[in-house]
Structure 1
């Protein structure tokens, strides 16, 4: 039984090399006969030739004339998406064997499941797992062993991190777009989880799906103090909106 088309939305600002690697890994490790997919790149005001590369590679893309940050870029990509499943993917994620197949198996295992996400080497909270590896070849070998679909390895969680999360279209249509007040990023994924949860939908963390995440690639370039200020500002916005400290769900 197929799970329909998956739209993979990859936003990025001046991250052409990351996008190239990310798209190459998706093409290599996603079996289109099992899990049909479309890639939609969102060029968030880049000046590094991202749009030109997408055009040359025939990767559908949307180009924002200036950088607006992650939530707005995701929303621009979501507007173009035609999939039954909508997957938000950071450009510094590397796909692995059966990654999409396993996530969709979990997502469609129950009518009340709204979102699913993998585990990874780098994330905040419970999705970070520790599999020591020396290089990407070894990581892919480990992922090949880990990524055997197993419902016993699905865990219901209150929070999924936005580096790689797949949402059923009907849930997205009820929950709405990402909240752009959290631009350029941080806590928009926590906010989204709260909204999906509020619809009575469950979320699954899939320990049978391991992907690689470089982590903080877009925020490494910002100054530490600036980042702290942004985190603090967005945390306050979250608390004002929900009357709850996001740390409760970490």
Structure 2
């Protein structure tokens, strides 16, 4: 290996693990896509396969236009690739002695004009499905182009302390090398000291970059259903490239191995924090426990019978940058209202394709809705502080989401859903256990009465939007 810990972008050999989410894994029936049951083969696979703790990574885009920065940029690109980021290096020098790049490092030609650069980055984003990204900008980059990249896609900018003031003013992170004695050092600045190895330099850059994103807290409730929980948690870890988040799992006294799995995951994924209840606290109280423990500025309630796609959290967070938005939910295969989009699929691979297609054709779209169902609901901390916790009078679960939506609207906040994010939802995987006994309908009537008494209105049933005419 060359000095300073660089291996020219070649990743360390990964540990061999059995993948849980594979493209051929059946997660829904084409004929009964709305039902919570999983095929027996999928359940057996999920029960036999541990959730891999390997995390998704944000992407790194390196623009090398300044000749005196190309060597540094090449080392940065290689180090980020070695840490499993996808890296797109524009303007990288090529020579016969150069080692082959890692599979996750692409060397691309640098466009000669700034207007062409913006078009090239837009095409790259669409082709590669880039969401959260760190852009290393050369000193020669036009400040207007840098600002447009930040405005359009939310990519964070890393700029040298020696860049022009107009470009430095756009930066999220300032990068100083050993020649920084004349630079102004502040809390945005990352310093590359001569004695630092390249892995150490990656680590300080990674910490600084993650801190530029508001922290998000994902709250998941579990009550048995280990197969569903494993699929859900695996999809979060594998597909959430959002750079700054935590997972809080509140377990309602599971007895099927869920507790042991959560304890194992907490040791391998430090940003996952389990809370173990001695009894089934119910949906509302358990979510309130998770929200009380959350440290994020963005809060997400996510059912354990969901599977999330790449980019889901980054897109929801982007909508929440609008202070008018109070609550936002995604599109899905199964809910009770117009956010249900009946798109047939069966396997995880087909779901991933549908989610990506939806994201591409629905960029930035959101629509008012009476109630975004709480299988996935995102909101900012300031909204939570205005509205308070979920109302715990609704026994076991149901009507908390209806109640919370009315509280948000009463506070003057927009309640919306976005077709840009498409999440698989098995629906009623937990509370559906009460259907055969009739207990489910008893709870519906009981909680409906509580809701109507609280709000002084007659509740009306939701209806999914009709399918478009053939």
Q: TM-score normalized by structure 2?
A: 0.51
Given the alignment of the two structures, is residue 12 of structure 1 paired with residue 222 of structure 2, yes or no?
yes
2:326–2:379 Cα contact (<8 Å) kept? yes
**Secondary structure class of the residue paired with 2:431:** coil
**Secondary structure class of the residue paired with 2:221:** strand
Matches of residues 110-125 of structure 1 in structure 2 within 5 Å? 110-125=322-337
Describe the superposition over 1:185-237 as per-residue Cα deviations: whole angstroms up to 9, x where unpaired.
00011001111111111022001110100111012211342111110110110
Where is the helix percentage greater, Structure 1 or Structure 2? 1
1:107–1:204 Cα contact (<8 Å) kept? no
- Aligned residue number for residue 372 of structure 2: 160
**Secondary structure class of the residue paired with 1:191:** helix
| 1:64 CA displacement | 1.0
For residues 198 and 9 of structure 1, the distance between their equivalents in structure 2, rounded to whole angstroms, comes to 25
- Aligned residue number for residue 57 of structure 1: 265
The total of aligned residue pairs comes to 246
2:283–2:396 Cα contact (<8 Å) kept? yes
**Secondary structure class of the residue paired with 1:140:** helix
- Aligned residue number for residue 256 of structure 2: 48
Matches of residues 164-175 of structure 1 in structure 2 within 5 Å? 164-175=376-387
- Aligned residue number for residue 314 of structure 2: 101
Given the alignment of the two structures, is residue 194 of structure 1 paired with residue 406 of structure 2, yes or no?
yes
Which of 283, 287, 303 is residue 74 of structure 1 equivalent to? 287
For residues 97 and 52 of structure 1, the distance between their equivalents in structure 2, rounded to whole angstroms, comes to 27
- Aligned residue number for residue 205 of structure 1: 417
2:242–2:313 Cα contact (<8 Å) kept? no
2:331–2:340 Cα contact (<8 Å) kept? yes
Describe the superposition over 1:128-181 as per-residue Cα deviations: whole angstroms up to 9, x where unpaired.
111111322111111111123622x21022311000000110110110111111
1:69–1:184 Cα contact (<8 Å) kept? yes
**CA RMSD, 1 decimal:** 1.6
- Aligned residue number for residue 246 of structure 1: 459
For residues 111 and 145 of structure 1, the distance between their equivalents in structure 2, rounded to whole angstroms, comes to 27
For residues 325 and 459 of structure 2, the distance between their equivalents in structure 1, rounded to whole angstroms, comes to 22
For residues 220 and 171 of structure 1, the distance between their equivalents in structure 2, rounded to whole angstroms, comes to 30
1:158–1:197 Cα contact (<8 Å) kept? no
**Secondary structure class of the residue paired with 1:86:** strand
For residues 212 and 220 of structure 1, the distance between their equivalents in structure 2, rounded to whole angstroms, comes to 17
2:432–2:440 Cα contact (<8 Å) kept? no
| 1:3 CA displacement | 4.8
Bigger Rg, which one:
2
For residues 223 and 93 of structure 1, the distance between their equivalents in structure 2, rounded to whole angstroms, comes to 20
For residues 129 and 147 of structure 1, the distance between their equivalents in structure 2, rounded to whole angstroms, comes to 13
2:301–2:376 Cα contact (<8 Å) kept? yes
Describe the superposition over 1:80-105 as per-residue Cα deviations: whole angstroms up to 9, x where unpaired.
10000110000011011211111111
Q: 1:106 to 1:246 in 2, by over 3 A?
A: farther
Structure with more contact order per residue of length (Cα contacts < 8 Å, sep ≥ 6): 1
1:69–1:185 Cα contact (<8 Å) kept? yes
For structure 2, list consecutive stretches of 5 or more residues without a partner in the other structure: 1-153, 155-211, 267-271, 464-470
| 1:239 CA displacement | 0.2
Matches of residues 26-37 of structure 1 in structure 2 within 5 Å? 26-33=236-243, 36-37=244-245
Q: 1:19 to 1:54 in 2, by over 3 A?
A: same
| 1:248 CA displacement | 7.0
For residues 183 and 232 of structure 1, the distance between their equivalents in structure 2, rounded to whole angstroms, comes to 11
